[in-house]
A and B are shown apart, each in its own frame.
Chain A
Amino acid sequence: MLSLLRAVIGRDLRLAMRRQADIVAAVFFFIIVVSLFPLGVGPEPEQLRRMAPGVLWVAALLATMLSLPRLFADDHRDGTLEQLALAPQPLALIVLGKVIAHWLVAGVPLVVLAPVLGVQFDLSSDALTVLTVSLLIGTPALSGIGAIGAALTLGVRGGGVLLSLLVLPLYIPVLIFGAGAVDATVSGLGPQAHLSLLGALALGGVFFAPWPTAAALRVALE
């Protein structure tokens, strides 16, 4: 079981490394979206500091959306997905491996960049730490829940737009608790409650999402 998981993660990571342009594009999308907000609303530090958690989190959601279609699309196109579905091991486990690989490729860069971008918004060091931690805890949930949408829209007309329509409403709790943790720190309430709930969402999301995803993949492969 574990060796299968490791093999799937290793394979997806290797594939991602061979096409680094995709990763870089999503990361720069994140940076650009975040940098647009001060240009749009004005450079007052007070206002930016209040907006920062929400802006960074929304940008993280959008950047994740951008990389989700590739989660299964390439494997679907060249037939690998059918082979994986035929494997004797449960498909949900393979999906879990792909979700973890997606998080490593799409989630971790956002976590690493977030403090740098947070400095642009004049966040205090406490808030920066909480922002990074909240993204670290929350982004796995984004990959997990997003996988359901990616599987449902596999090979469907206008899949990209449809994917955001399906997945963004389901992301709302993650957004609320993720941005809420930073907000609570800024306002002096302490982020523990939000971070715990975020952790619960992430664990629940990563644990349960592979099943509906696997079911959706089987529907798509019929």
Chain B
Amino acid sequence: MTERAINWFAYASPQTFYPLAGKLIPWFWALAALFGIAGLSIGFLFAPTDAQQGEGYRIIFLHVPASWLSMFIYLVMAFWAGIGLAFNIRLSGMMASALAPTGALFAFLSLWTGALWGKPMWGTWWVWDARLTSELILLFLYIGFIALQAAIDDPRRADKAGAILALVGVVNIPIIYFSVKWWNTLHQGASVSLTRAPSMAAMMLWGMLLCALACWMYSIAVALMRVRTIMLERERHTDWVRALLDDKA
């Protein structure tokens, strides 16, 4: 077994993952800041003004990454939850509960920035468009997950119950998405269309991608910080946490 450079399973234990996460966090913060500065400066300084939407379109540099991340984080969360349920790994459950608040934050940001954009562009804060509605439901699913975990005192039970809920949610997301989509199209044609100008200027696209990367790195950094706190809280009776705290004190 000496052939293997890194034994990945070693990091499934909170004791070894805690210092690793501590080392990684500054790097992800640095990357987030770097991508964020690059993306925002492209977005605000270099990207051309949109022909139809004027300067107001610049909110997409936050809006689109937030929407992507909100959906992506739910998948990652369900992935960790599923791993935790299948292999009974404590760390996976902790990762899932560490990711949920960030996902909920991005879902909320996506709705909020969408509303801010919608007011000048569509003349309304909210329309019952399929995408808006499914994003709202995604926020509900996040809140349900967080609330369920918060209501259960025993952390292992909370992890497992949350994992089942997250997996049921993942199976349901496509069903909900399509039902909402058909509901809308069967009802009436959308009075406003979300489809933007067909060809987006390359500069805009780059700004958006860099901002998405920044949000991504931020999510990883924050999730790692949160998982470190969760680890300390749940493992407070173990020797390694005591030794760690004694060192710091």
Contacts and interface: CB of A to CB of B under 8 A. Distances in A.
A140 interface: no
A24 interface: no
Interface stretch (B95-103, B171-179, B194-202): B171-179
A169 B157 contact: no
B167 interface: yes
Give the size range of B's interface with the partner. 20 to 34
A212 B151 contact: no
Given A172-B137, A173-B176, A176-B180, A162 B148 contact: yes
A193 B147 CA distance: 36
A201 B147 CA distance: 26
B175 A173 contact: yes
Nearest to A156: B151
A152 B186 contact: no
Given A165-B147, A220-B157, A173 B179 contact: yes
B183 to A, nearest CB: 4
Contacts of A189: 186
Nearest to A213: B164
26 contacts: A148-B164, A148-B165, A148-B168, A152-B165, A156-B151, A156-B152, A157-B151, A157-B153, A159-B151, A162-B148, A165-B143, A165-B147, A166-B144, A166-B148, A166-B165, A169-B176, A172-B176, A173-B176, A176-B180, A180-B183, A180-B186, A208-B171, A212-B164, A212-B168, A216-B161, A222-B157
B85 to A, nearest CB: 8
A173 B176 CA distance: 6
Contacts of A153: 148, 151
A-B pairs with lowest CB-CB distance, top 5: A173-B179, A169-B140, A176-B183, A219-B160, A166-B144
A176 B161 contact: no
Interface string A198-219: 0001000000100010011001
Contacts of B148: 152-153, 156, 162, 165-166
Given A152-B161, A156-B151, A180-B186, A170 B168 contact: yes
Contacts of A180: 183, 186
A40 interface: no
B141 interface: yes
Contacts of A165: 140, 143-144, 147-148
A72 interface: no
Given A169-B137, A172-B176, A162 B164 contact: no
A62 interface: no
A220 to B, nearest CB: 7
Interface string A155-185: 0111100100110111011001100100110
B141 to A, nearest CB: 6
Most chain A beta-carbon neighbours within 10 Å: one of B156, B176, B186, B187? B186
A157 B153 CA distance: 9
B171 to A, nearest CB: 8
Contacts of B169: 170
B51 to A, nearest CB: 37
B190 to A, nearest CB: 16
A170 B186 CA distance: 20
Contact of A152 (B153, B164, B180): B164
B186 to A, nearest CB: 6
A43 B7 CA distance: 71
Contacts of B141: 169
B23 to A, nearest CB: 34
A51 to B, nearest CB: 14
Contacts of B160: 219
Interface string B106-149: 00000000000000000000000000000001001101100110
Contacts of A173: 172, 175-176, 179
Given A165-B147, A172-B180, A201-B175, 14 more contacts: A152-B148, A152-B164, A152-B165, A162-B144, A165-B148, A166-B148, A169-B137, A170-B169, A180-B183, A212-B164, A219-B161, A219-B164, A220-B157, A222-B156
Most chain A beta-carbon neighbours within 10 Å: one of B153, B161, B167, B182? B161
A162 B147 CA distance: 7
Interface string A124-153: 000000000000000000000000100011
B175 to A, nearest CB: 5
